[in-house]
C-alpha cells in the first residue's frame, strides 16, 4: 500500500479515517492515547495544505443517532491536542457534511459525526461508502485499531478513492512486522487473560511463529488442570482440557517451548488485599484460587526473557486490577521495559487489557511499541487478514467510479 509519502495533498480534500473511539466515563475522556497518536498524521496533512476531513465511529449506537455517542466532545479534545481549530459537522454525509466540506480552506481540519449513526456503516453499504468518498479527493486510513472491521468507512470507501495509509497505521504495521513476520530470534510471546476458548486461534498461530510461549493469567490454570494439577477453586475451563493438551503436544512437536507458572499467589476470596498464600502450583489449597503468578514464576519468566531478542505481549499474568495480584505483571513488565530500554529486546504489546496492565505497571511507554488496538491487534496475532488493510493494498489499485 501507499503511505503519505506518495500523496501531495496541497489543496486536496482528504478523507481521514481515524479511530476516535476513546474510553469515556461520566462524559470525560479517560485516555487520550488514540487521539495523541493520531495527531501527527493530521498535522502533516494540514501543514502540507490538505483540507482534512476526519471520520470515525464512536461506541456502538447501532445505526441510531444517540446523542451521548456524538463525536463532538472528542472533536473538541482533538482541537486541544492539535493546538488548532477543529470544526465539527453534525452528520458524516449529506448536505450538512457537504456544506462543511465546501467551506474548508487549505490546512483546515473538520471532524464529521459518528459514522455508526448510519446503519450502512457496519453493513458496509456501498451507498454510504460512495457518499463518504464523494466528499473527498483522497482517502487516508489511520485507524489500524478499526481495521478488523469491514465497514463502509474502513473498507468500502477504499474502492472509490485513491487510498493511503496514515502515519499511525504505518507505525502499527511496521511494529507488527518486526514482532512476528520478520522477528529477530529467539522470539517469544506472553499470552495472558482469562480464557483459552477466546484465544485458540491466537495460540495456534503463535505456536507456528514463536520459540517460547509464556502462558499466564487464568488461562494458565486450564493448562495446569489439563496436566492433572489440582487448581482448587481457580477460574478454569474444564471443557478445554483436551484442547490444552493438544496445544501442548503440538508445541512439543514443533520445538515451541510452552512456559506455565510454577508457583501461585492464592486467596479464598477475590477482593483487594485479602489474606494470601503463595504455594507451588501443585499445592493450591482446595478452597483457594490462583490470582497471580508467584515469585518463582517471575524468576523463571525473567530468565526466559533474558534469552529473547523479540517479545510480543498480550494479556496480564494475574488479576492485576486488584492489589497484590498485580505483582507478577508489574515485575515482568519492569524487566521487559528494562531490557527494551537497554537495547537488548524488541517488545511489542497490545490488545485488550494489556495496555492498561502496562500503564498500571508504569511502563506502557517503555516498550518498543505499544499498539493502540484491541480487537484488531488480537486478530492480527491470530494471523487473520484485516479487511481495512487489505482494502488499502488491493482495492485502491482498482478505483471504481462514484
Active site residue 195: yes
The single residue of 34, 51, 159, 339 carrying the catalytic annotation is 34
What are the beta bridge partners of residue 191?
215, 314
19 labeled binding residue: yes
Contact pick of 9, 18, 21, 189 for ligand 3PG (by CB under 6 A): 21
Active site residue 352: yes
Total interface residues for ligand 3PG by CB under 6 A: 8
Contact pick of 19, 108, 121, 335 for ligand 3PG (by CB under 6 A): 19
Q: How far is the CB of 56 from ligand 3PG (least distance, A)?
A: 8
Q: How far is the CB of 151 from ligand 3PG (least distance, A)?
A: 8
* Cell numbers for 274: 485479602
Closest Cα to residue 381, out of 173, 156, 200, 205? 205
The single residue of 49, 107, 375, 383 carrying the catalytic annotation is 375
Interatomic CA distance for residues 10 and 144, integer angstroms: 25
Q: Which one, 10 or 60, has the nearer CB to ligand 3PG?
A: 60
Q: How far is the CB of 111 from ligand 3PG (least distance, A)?
A: 16
350 labeled binding residue: no
Q: Which one, 19 or 353, has the nearer CB to ligand 3PG?
A: 19
Closest Cα to residue 290, out of 315, 262, 313? 262
Q: How far is the CB of 319 from ligand 3PG (least distance, A)?
A: 22
* Site for ligand 3PG contains 323 (CB under 6 A): no
CB neighbour list of residue 94: distance below 8 Å, 6 or more residues apart: 131
* Site for ligand 3PG contains 375 (CB under 6 A): yes
What residues between 113 and 152 interact with ligand 3PG by CB under 6 A?
Answer: 145-146, 149
CB atoms within 10 A of CB 140: 33
330 labeled binding residue: no
Counting Cβ atoms within 10 Å, is residue 24 exposed (0-12), middle (13-18) or buried (19+)?
Answer: middle
What residues between 23 and 62 interact with ligand 3PG by CB under 6 A?
Answer: 60
* Cell numbers for 281: 502450583
Question: Does residue 284 sit in helix, strand or coil?
Answer: coil
DSSP label at 117?
G
Sign of the torsion formed by the C-alpha atoms of 225, 230, 231 and 233: positive
Closest Cα to residue 37, out of 354, 341, 355, 320? 355
Binding-site annotation: residue ranges:
19-21, 34, 57-60, 116, 149, 199, 321, 351-354
Binding-site annotation: residue ranges for ATP:
199, 321, 351-354
Catalytic residues: 34, 195, 352, 375
Amino acid at each position: 500500500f501507499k503511505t503519505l509519502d506518495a500523496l501531495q495533498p496541497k489543496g486536496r480534500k482528504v478523507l481521514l479515517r481515524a479511530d476516535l473511539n476513546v474510553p469515556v466515563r461520566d462524559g470525560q475522556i479517560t485516555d487520550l492515547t488514540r487521539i495523541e497518536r493520531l495527531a501527527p498524521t493530521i498535522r502533516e496533512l494540514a501543514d502540507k495544505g490538505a483540507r482534512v476531513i476526519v471520520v470515525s465511529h464512536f461506541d456502538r449506537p447501532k445505526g441510531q443517532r444517540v446523542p451521548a455517542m456524538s463525536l463532538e466532545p472528542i472533536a473538541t479534545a482533538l482541537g486541544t491536542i492539535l493546538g488548532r481549530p477543529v470544526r465539527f459537522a453534525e452528520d458524516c454525509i449529506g448536505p450538512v457534511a457537504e456544506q462543511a466540506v465546501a467551506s474548508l480552506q487549505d490546512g483546515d481540519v473538520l471532524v464529521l459525526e459518528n459514522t455508526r449513526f448510519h446503519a450502512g456503516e457496519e453493513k458496509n453499504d456501498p451507498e454510504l461508502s460512495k457518499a463518504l468518498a464523494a466528499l473527498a479527493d483522497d482517502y487516508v486510513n489511520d485507524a489500524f485499531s478499526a481495521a478488523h472491521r469491514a465497514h463502509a468507512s474502513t473498507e468500502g470507501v477504499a474502492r472509490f478513492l485513491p487510498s493511503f495509509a496514515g502515519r499511525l497505521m504505518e507505525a502499527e504495521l511496521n511494529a507488527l512486522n518486526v514482532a512476528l513476520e520478520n522477528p529477530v530470534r529467539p522470539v517469544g510471546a506472553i499470552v495472558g487473560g482469562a480464557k483459552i476458548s477466546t484465544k485458540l486461534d491466537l495460540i495456534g498461530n503463535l505456536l507456528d511463529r514463536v520459540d517460547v510461549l509464556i502462558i499466564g493469567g487464568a488461562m494458565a490454570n486450564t493448562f495446569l488442570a489439563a496436566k492433572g494439577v489440582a487448581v482448587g477453586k481457580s477460574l478454569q475451563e474444564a471443557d478445554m482440557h483436551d484442547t490444552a493438551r493438544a496445544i501442548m503436544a503440538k508445541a512439543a512437536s514443533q520445538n515451541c517451548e510452552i512456559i506455565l507458572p510454577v508457583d501461585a499467589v492464592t486467596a479464598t476470596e477475590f477482593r483487594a488485599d485479602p489474606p494470601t498464600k503463595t504455594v507451588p502450583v501443585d499445592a493450591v489449597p482446595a478452597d483457594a484460587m490462583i490470582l497471580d503468578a508467584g515469585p518463582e514464576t517471575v524468576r523463571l519468566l525473567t530468565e526466559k526473557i533474558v534469552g529473547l531478542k523479540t517479545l510480543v505481549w498480550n494479556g496480564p499474568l494475574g488479576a492485576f486490577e486488584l492489589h497484590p495480584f498485580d505483582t507478577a505483571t508489574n515485575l515482568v513488565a519492569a524487566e521487559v521495559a528494562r531490557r527494551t530500554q537497554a537495547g537488548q529486546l524488541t517488545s511489542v504489546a497490545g490488545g485488550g487489557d494489556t495496555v492498561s496492565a502496562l500503564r498500571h505497571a508504569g511502563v506502557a511507554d517503555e516498550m518498543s511499541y505499544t499498539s493502540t488496538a484491541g480487537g484488531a491487534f488480537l486478530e492480527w496475532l491470530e494471523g487473520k487478514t484485516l479487511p481495512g488493510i487489505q482494502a488499502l493494498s488491493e482495492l485502491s489499485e482498482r478505483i471504481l467510479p462514484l
